[in-house]
A and B are shown apart, each in its own frame.
Chain A
Amino acid sequence: MNRFLWPLIAVAVLLGFLVLGLLHGDPRALPSPFIGKPAPQFELPTLKNPEVTIGSKNLAGDYAIVNVWATWCVMCRAEHGFLLDLAASKTIPIYGINWRDSRVEAIRWLDELGDPYIASAYDADGRVGIDWGVYGAPETFLLDPEGTVVYKHLGPLDPVIWQREFVARMGASGGASK
């Protein structure tokens, strides 16, 4: 065999290996390892009332979005107006996970800017965030009625992303008219 083919073979092996790595490797290579899988179970105190807890059980039964936010996150402020509009339109229940934040500041934020969330879970030490594979805020998960993660969006939401990424997916697996 032509010995000058060896580099080609070595590279082919390496490339195949990298393709596999990209498909199955680190979760960071995929939008979320949870897509198509049930959302991780959690139970946390709510932001506004530490006595009451909120968890996976509250999310089931309907399409819902879970929005990871924090007062220190500038981009969360950027998407907040859209979340308020979305809440007003009553399209979908919006749940929040207040992530690595101060309870006082977070409540003040919602008082000042308005509260789009049915309820926010308070994840002070970010532990649930780790289970959910959160890299940073804002992040938004779309869950179907069975509690399966359909989509995860990194970064602020806006109407275009909402229509393109979320509404389309709700139609597809929800069996809506289109």
Chain B
Amino acid sequence: MIPEIGQFALILALSLAICQAVLPLVGAHRGDAAMMNVGRSAAAGQFVFVAVAFACLTWSFIANDFSVLYVANHSQLSLPTIYRVSAVWGAHEGSLLLWIFILAAWTVAVARFSSGLPDAFAARVIGVLGFLSVGFLLFALLTSNPFDRLVPAPADGGDLNPLLQDPGLAIHPPLLYIGYVGFSVAFAFAIAAMISGDLDRRWAKWTRPWTTVAWMFLTLGIALGSWWAYYELGWGGWWFWDAVENASFMPWLIGTALIHSLAVTEKRGLFKSWTLLLAITAFSLSLLGTFLVRSGIIVSVHAFATDPTRGFFILTFLAVVVVGALVLYAWRAPALDSDVGFAPLSRETFLLLNNVLLVVATTLVLIGTLSPLIIEMATGGKISIGPPWFNVAFLVPMIPLVILLGMGMHAAWRTQAASPWLNTLKIPAIIAIILGVVIPLFGYGRISIMLVVGCAAAAWIVASALIPIIRSLRREKGTAGITRSALGMSIAHLGMGSFVIGATIVSAFGVESDRALQPGESIEVAGFEFHMKSLGNVQGPNFSAIEAEIEIRDDGEYVATVRPQKRQYLVQRSLMTEAGIHPGMDKDLFVALGDQLGNGAWSVRIQYKPLIRFIWLGALIMALGGLIAISDRRYRSTAKARDKVPLDSTKTAEAPA
């Protein structure tokens, strides 16, 4: 009964989404206020019914209703309750429902906080979001219904993929989807602005906070996924250039470009057509990611179980959305040429370069991700170009990007005089060069060109990002301090510095060693002694495991005890590695059990990972920067002050309320 309610709620949500897509757009075109107002109510109704459907599916999992096919395939009686809840989005159908739910939630948020926007504009934004909801609801109902029944119901289910039975992965998809789907708001704003044909700066101002929020969640989601891969997959790496990782990384790169480009459009009214294109691209890449993950076109450790009809549906939807948006773009963008100029040395120039480099980086990732497909189609052979290619190719745009970052932060809008600018940059440049040599040489005892470049780049970013904060702290009383926007930018850039130093040090000085070890034995890796004290059996709720107790000593001094496990999940019979990690800001010590070698010995993978925490810390700081930036006063004022200037080309919809 409960699943049928869920099914019915989804169908009702679809009907409301159709109203939400059609009526406000028609209303905005005709200037009919009543029709435009339908948008907000329909969006609220759609949200309620999607929430009901989501609750029904969650209920089916909690109640172990194995007559629901999706539950039977992805849950199990002994699965802990928390994972029964997160199993809702553990596979294709349910994660699609989560996607729809989050889209509905974003729409309601836009409807709620858009009271400061012109009615026709808000109506169009809600209409475009409604159109996206229609697409995804159809996708769910036609190809991926989570409420399909299984008759007769099995006594027990097939269990959730053990990889997903982890707190990190329980919240990783929601965070990632909030980010992914959040770019739909920037997309909807761009489409609404292009339909009305009136693209002034206010469009950029309205879009900015929404884009930043989506970007923040995407940052956190990607970081959490990376952290999870680190400790759960047992390989000790933090990024694998896997197709699905790339699928989330490409929207992030373009989203980052979009945030910077929006700044120029808002402040100076420049780059309008470019910003529009980025807004379209960021969401299109989110859709492309969905397609790659759900069509099975690319083999990946994270890809969902696949079905060609799903691939074709999502590809068709992708085509309609992207081609539609780009046709509109080709029609409207030529009118957007701006007559304001900027000097070669100005913040505009640096932000333009930032955008170019981020787009180049995205293109490289896209090529790398799709290349196995290209090669397979051309030659029939299955090969992967793999991480080595990405690691090199990606640095090409990234090194200039971080150098320009520090320079651009201190350049003024419009035009910047060279000498005071060079003066400001002198101190960070000196700090960068010194630390670029000192950190690797004295901190870690080795030096190379790449190490100097990496450490200097990190120091350069941190030093130049700190300047505005220090200046604000040392300012004279009564003068204006740093704005929240500028503070947010500095903090986010500090996060970038933290990421760069972490990535540089861990890739240069990380040690990985595969050794055989049996109880009572010790081995030395990276100067630490790893002593296996014992090996025993442990019983979990739905798994049994072998656990080693390993004591780590540094020069005879006790450091920590870690307990890596090799788990066998009882239903799916799959073996999982649960690494034992001694975390620290300066280094992680990581022990994972490999295979049983006979006569009581196990192969163990021991890793020394200096500064690896700085990578994820960097992502957290970047997200914090975004949070500070959107708390800027001028966004709060937008939400309240009603903007009476008509944005609609029909000029009829703006009767004062």
Residues of chain A at the chain B interface (Cβ within 8 Å) = 2, 4-5, 7-8, 11-12, 15, 17-22, 24-26, 28-31, 72-75, 77-78, 81, 154-156, 158, 160
Q: A29 and B151 in contact (CB under 8 A), knowing A75-B158, A78-B72?
A: no
Q: Please give, as numbers and ranges, the residues of chain A lying within 8 Å of B430 by CB-CB distance.
A: none
Q: Please give, as numbers and ranges, the residues of chain B lying within 8 Å of A17 by CB-CB distance.
A: 370, 373-374
- The stretch among B135-143, B291-299, B437-445, B518-526 that forms the contact with chain A is B291-299
Q: A31 and B373 in contact (CB under 8 A), knowing A74-B154, A78-B72, A81-B152?
A: no
- The stretch among B86-94, B323-331, B642-650 that forms the contact with chain A is B323-331
B291 & A18 in contact (Cβ 8 Å cutoff): yes
- The stretch among B95-103, B304-312, B578-586 that forms the contact with chain A is B304-312
24 contacts between A and B (CB under 8 A): A4-B329, A4-B333, A4-B334, A7-B329, A8-B323, A15-B322, A15-B323, A18-B297, A20-B377, A22-B312, A28-B303, A29-B295, A29-B311, A31-B308, A73-B158, A74-B76, A74-B156, A74-B159, A74-B571, A77-B154, A78-B154, A81-B152, A156-B154, A160-B151
B278-292: which residues lie under 8 A (CB-CB) from chain A?
Answer: 280-281, 284, 291
Q: Please give, as numbers and ranges, the residues of chain A lying within 8 Å of B327 by CB-CB distance.
A: 8
The answer for the CA separation of A156 and B157 in the assembled complex, in Å, is: 12
A25 & B154 in contact (Cβ 8 Å cutoff): no
A22 & B311 in contact (Cβ 8 Å cutoff): yes
CB distance from B645 to the nearest CB of A (A): 26
The answer for the CA separation of A12 and B319 in the assembled complex, in Å, is: 8
CB distance from B370 to the nearest CB of A (A): 8
Q: Please give, as numbers and ranges, the residues of chain B lying within 8 Å of A7 by CB-CB distance.
A: 277, 280-281, 326, 329-330
A75 & B291 in contact (Cβ 8 Å cutoff): no
CB distance from B2 to the nearest CB of A (A): 21
Is B395 interfacial (CB 8 A cutoff)?
A: no
CB distance from A153 to the nearest CB of B (A): 12
A11 & B308 in contact (Cβ 8 Å cutoff): no
Is B107 interfacial (CB 8 A cutoff)?
A: no
The answer for the CA separation of A162 and B296 in the assembled complex, in Å, is: 25
Task: Name A9's closest neighbour in chain B (CB-CB).
Answer: B326
Q: Please give, as numbers and ranges, the residues of chain A lying within 8 Å of B73 by CB-CB distance.
A: 75, 155
CB distance from A25 to the nearest CB of B (A): 5
Q: Please give, as numbers and ranges, the residues of chain A lying within 8 Å of B291 by CB-CB distance.
A: 18
Task: Name B326's closest neighbour in chain A (CB-CB).
Answer: A8
B296 & A21 in contact (Cβ 8 Å cutoff): no
A19 & B377 in contact (Cβ 8 Å cutoff): no
B377 & A158 in contact (Cβ 8 Å cutoff): no
The answer for the CA separation of A78 and B159 in the assembled complex, in Å, is: 14
Is B248 interfacial (CB 8 A cutoff)?
A: no
Sorted nearest first, the 10 A-B pairs with minimum C-beta distance are A78-B154, A28-B296, A8-B326, A4-B333, A4-B330, A29-B296, A5-B330, A21-B373, A72-B573, A22-B311
B323 & A158 in contact (Cβ 8 Å cutoff): no
Is B318 interfacial (CB 8 A cutoff)?
A: yes
Q: Please give, as numbers and ranges, the residues of chain A lying within 8 Å of B333 by CB-CB distance.
A: 4
A26 & B296 in contact (Cβ 8 Å cutoff): yes
- Add 19 more A-B contacts to A4-B333, A4-B334, A17-B373 (CB < 8 A): A4-B273, A5-B330, A7-B281, A8-B330, A15-B315, A15-B318, A15-B319, A17-B374, A18-B291, A18-B297, A21-B297, A21-B377, A22-B295, A22-B312, A25-B376, A26-B376, A28-B296, A29-B306, A78-B150
B377 & A74 in contact (Cβ 8 Å cutoff): no
A2 & B308 in contact (Cβ 8 Å cutoff): no
A11 & B377 in contact (Cβ 8 Å cutoff): no
A11 & B152 in contact (Cβ 8 Å cutoff): no
B334 & A2 in contact (Cβ 8 Å cutoff): yes
The answer for the CA separation of A154 and B73 in the assembled complex, in Å, is: 12
Task: Name A74's closest neighbour in chain B (CB-CB).
Answer: B158
CB distance from A125 to the nearest CB of B (A): 15
Task: Name B156's closest neighbour in chain A (CB-CB).
Answer: A74
A28 & B299 in contact (Cβ 8 Å cutoff): yes
CB distance from B258 to the nearest CB of A (A): 14
A22 & B323 in contact (Cβ 8 Å cutoff): no
Q: Please give, as numbers and ranges, the residues of chain B lying within 8 Å of A2 by CB-CB distance.
A: 330, 334
Task: Name A23's closest neighbour in chain B (CB-CB).
Answer: B308
Task: Name B571's closest neighbour in chain A (CB-CB).
Answer: A74
B352-403: which residues lie under 8 A (CB-CB) from chain A?
Answer: 370, 373-374, 376-377
A11 & B323 in contact (Cβ 8 Å cutoff): yes
Q: Please give, as numbers and ranges, the residues of chain A lying within 8 Å of B305 by CB-CB distance.
A: 154
CB distance from A144 to the nearest CB of B (A): 22
CB distance from A74 to the nearest CB of B (A): 5
B377 & A25 in contact (Cβ 8 Å cutoff): yes
Task: Name A136's closest neighbour in chain B (CB-CB).
Answer: B305
Q: Please give, as numbers and ranges, the residues of chain B lying within 8 Å of A31 by CB-CB distance.
A: 308
Q: A24 and B157 in contact (CB under 8 A), knowing A2-B330, A8-B326, A31-B308?
A: no
B311 & A12 in contact (Cβ 8 Å cutoff): no
Q: Please give, as numbers and ranges, the residues of chain A lying within 8 Å of B311 by CB-CB distance.
A: 22, 29
The answer for the CA separation of A26 and B326 in the assembled complex, in Å, is: 29
Task: Name B327's closest neighbour in chain A (CB-CB).
Answer: A8
Task: Name B333's closest neighbour in chain A (CB-CB).
Answer: A4
The answer for the CA separation of A158 and B329 in the assembled complex, in Å, is: 50
